Structure 1
Amino acid sequence: MPSTPVVVDAAVVLLGATVTTITHPLLYVKLLIQVGHEPLPPAVGSTMFGRPVLYLPGFFSYAQHVLRVDGKLGLFRGLSPRIASSTISTLVRGKIEGTSHDMIFRCLSRVATHPFHDYAPCYQSDKSQVMSVRCMAQFVGRETKYSGVFSCIMTIFKEEGLSGFYTGFVPHVLGEVLFLWCCNLLAYLINTYAVDDSFSQASTLRNYTKFVMSITLRVLTYPFTLVADVMAVNNCGLAAGLPPRFPVFTSWLHCWNHLSTEGQLFRGSRLFFRRVPVTLPPSVED
């Protein structure tokens, strides 16, 4: 019996929720690093040339700390808004399926899911927004202000209005548009002018060009993701987004300039072999 569109969408939603659940601990630890929470002391290590350096805890050490504090379910704080986002993303994708303009889908998906969680294709780094970010960031100050999806909606709407659901929206969209155009343009230029048709594996190489470009450009556009995530938690009543950890930013450009001045525009882009920065951000335990 052939599968109906409803069955296919249900399967995609279930698969998306499963992947989201499995990868959530990675995103959770990454978010805590992004907001500058470093509860564990650095350890002495060495480079490949034998020079001693200080390394901040990697993902596994950080995750174990979260488990010690919050228990077995501690690494899944903020998961429900992300699952809600995954479902909405599938519905939005179904409404515009068949269009040749990938940017239209991404922008519509961004508008629909930004309050919950940012939709990201499999070749992109996963990102979270507003409700999910705030639920996870509560670990820093041990708050309980944001919990389930409906509680988050009521709290944000009551305190900030509709605009509160789209905090950090602009840098995310700008980063996505920049990523999309640059990825497609570079892949086209490489496939057209750099790959010789006489090469026996030319077609195979062209198939992987865009994938490789997407990984490279995702790293270069990471600051937009960081700024958007920091803005999502800034001045919302949580310790993770208030002084002395962060000043109250007047705009995302103010946030960008602050992180750039501190040399922290790529904070959280790595989960392993994290060297101690020149100036560590203040910790809630200090």
Structure 2
Amino acid sequence: MENKNAIAFTVTGDHIQLTATALASLCKNHTTDEHLDVLIVADGINPADIEWIRRIPALYHQENVFVTVWEPPAVVGQITTSNTSARFPGMTYWRLFLPAYFPQFTRLLYVDNDVLFYGDVSAIFLKVPDDRPVAAVPDFYYHAMPNDQGLADQFRLASSRDYVNAGVILYNVPVFNEQFPVATVLDAVNANHFKYHDQSVLNQLTADTIVRLPLVYNYQKDDHWLNDWAKVNATDQYPHFAKAHDHVLIRHFVEFAQYSMPWEHLAINDPWEADWWTTLQSLKTRIGAFQRNA
């Protein structure tokens, strides 16, 4: 099989601006000449916005980045669980079916919309070995806390610190599809009763086989958390977080309180938030210039 890599997003409704900002940061930092597919699995998106999403690589002069937009996989219609919420809608489960939906790829990097790329992530596709199905980054909350053996036992983990975050998932597509066919994933989704929906299913299914990636590929906390909480309350893990802070490749804005996301308040609370607004402004400026010159 020819090695083919892709990056995937899932999006519904007015979250299209988050996807666009993430994609703009990806294009801004993409430096390799290799062909890269970006797959946008979308529902309820304005057709005009879909056209702009497709144009973003061209706005950043990225001739080797190709965006395609897809409807959700049909299998999501078989999700029967009522265990969803405003924060975790049914869409969060879509990411678990992406390997089966895109079997033509060798490696598939799923990324949440609420991210910024800070470097060329091409090397990440090499981070999952040929014989392993998936890789992800430990969830910062659990990784910082002492081991909760009860939680670890629930998910068949050696330590609760090994529990991974589902905002960045690197799939070895053929191996994942072989080990976790659609029926297996669907059964796990419909049986899930844990708070963190897709994330819990991912941890349950892959506890024995997942590769844990370096923290830089899904850096989930702000500077206030690092310097005012982790430094005091997670002294043994703090050096690992601090080292990753200086080499972040993907910054993931994980919600931790009401109005905590950059686009939910007016203040600029740290450089990460400033970069998010600057990236969106840059994209809007490029779109405006394109419209004026069209």
Q: TM above 0.5, one fold?
A: no
Q: Which has the higher contact order (CA 8 A, sep 6+)?
A: 1
Question: What TM-score, normalized by structure 2, do the two folds share?
Answer: 0.28
Bigger fraction of residues in helix: 1
Bigger fraction of residues in strand: 2
